[in-house]
A and B are shown apart, each in its own frame.
Chain A
Amino acid sequence: MSKAQAWKPAMKSVALLAAVAGLGWALLLFAYNHEQDDVNGPVPSKWCNDDNGTTCNNTVSWSLNPATGSNVSASGGLSVQGAIQGAFNSWKQAQLNGQSLANLTIVQLPNNSLTGPNSGDCENTIGFEDSTKSDFPTGTIAFTQIATSAGCTVAGPNCPGGSPPNTYTCPNSANPNTVYTCPLPSCIIDADIEFNPADQFTISTTPGANAFDVQAIATHEIGHLLGMDHSGLASAIMFAYGDTGGVPNRGLSLDDAVGMGALYPAANYATLTGALAGHVTLSGVGIFAAHVVVIDAATGNAVTDGLTDTSGNYQIAGVPPGSYNVLALPLAGIYTLSNFSGWACGFGENVPPCCDPTSNPSCNKSGALKPPTNYSGKFY
Chain B
Amino acid sequence: MKKHHPLLAAFAVMVFAGSSAATSLVELSMQQLTQASTVILRGHAVNQVSQWNANHTGIETLTTIAVDQSVKGQPASTVIVRQMGGTIGRIREYVPGTVRFLPGAGYMLFLEPSQTDTSEYLVVGMMQGAYRVFWDPNTGEERVITPTGKYFHGARGPVSNMSPAPQTVPLQQFQQQVAGAMSAPVVIPTGTAIPLKIESASFDGVGRMALQARTTVDLFPNDHLVVPAQSTLTGYGQRITDHWVVHWSTVEIGGTPVKIRTAPEKSLGARLSGERFVAVVR
Chain A residues in contact with chain B, CB under 8 A?
Answer: 3-4, 8-9, 11, 30, 35, 37-40, 45, 71, 116-121, 132-135, 137-152, 158-159, 166, 168, 171-172, 186, 196, 198-200, 210, 212, 216-217, 219-221, 224, 229-230, 232-244, 246-249, 253, 291, 293, 295, 299-302, 325, 327, 329, 331-333, 335-336, 338-343, 352-353, 356-358, 366-380
Contacts and interface: CB of A to CB of B under 8 A. Distances in A.
B228 A138 contact: yes
A150 B90 contact: yes
A152 B96 CA distance: 23
A191 to B, nearest CB: 9
A242 B26 contact: yes
A377 B47 contact: yes
Given A135-B114, A148-B94, A168-B91, A220 B167 contact: no
B103 interface: yes
B159 A374 contact: no
B47 A376 contact: yes
Given A145-B95, A300-B160, A375 B28 contact: no
Given A120-B57, A332-B167, A371 B149 contact: no
A335 B94 contact: no
B149 A30 contact: yes
A118 B7 contact: no
Classify the secondary structure of B's interface with A.
loop
Contact of B90 (A134, A159, A217, A331): A159
B103 A356 contact: yes
B8 A379 contact: no
A133 B116 contact: yes
Nearest to A71: B217
Interface string B76-104: 00000010111101111111111111111
Contacts of B218: 138-139, 196, 198-199
Contacts of B136: 368
Contact of B126 (A139, A234, A332): A139
A144 B23 contact: no
A220 B96 CA distance: 11
B137 A240 contact: no
Interface in B223-250: 226, 228-230
A117 B56 CA distance: 11
B122 interface: yes
B44 interface: yes
Given A133-B116, A141-B24, A232-B152, A200 B103 contact: no
A230 B156 CA distance: 16
A236 B22 contact: yes
B149 A139 contact: no
A147 B91 contact: yes
Given A119-B59, A141-B26, A220-B22, A377 B92 contact: no
Given A133-B116, A148-B94, A301-B159, A141 B25 contact: yes
Contacts of B84: 134-135, 143, 145
B73 to A, nearest CB: 15
A141 to B, nearest CB: 6
Contact of B151 (A301, A329, A340, A358): A329
Given A138-B226, A139-B28, A372-B104, A119 B112 contact: no
A45 B153 CA distance: 27
A119 B46 contact: no
Contacts of B61: 380
Given A145-B84, A220-B22, A339-B132, 4 more contacts: A144-B96, A148-B94, A217-B24, A341-B98
A263 B95 CA distance: 19
B103 A379 contact: yes
A362 B9 CA distance: 39
Contact of A11 (B5, B24, B123, B148): B5
Given A137-B129, A300-B160, A9 B25 contact: no
Question: Would you list the 7 A-B pairs with minimal beta carbon distance, nearest first?
Answer: A372-B104, A333-B167, A300-B158, A249-B21, A220-B23, A239-B22, A198-B229
A306 to B, nearest CB: 13
Contacts of A9: 5, 7-8
24 contacts: A118-B58, A142-B24, A149-B90, A168-B91, A198-B216, A216-B21, A216-B22, A234-B19, A239-B152, A241-B23, A242-B22, A242-B26, A244-B220, A247-B21, A300-B158, A336-B145, A339-B147, A341-B99, A352-B134, A370-B134, A373-B44, A373-B104, A379-B45, A379-B102
A47 B130 CA distance: 31
A216 B23 contact: yes
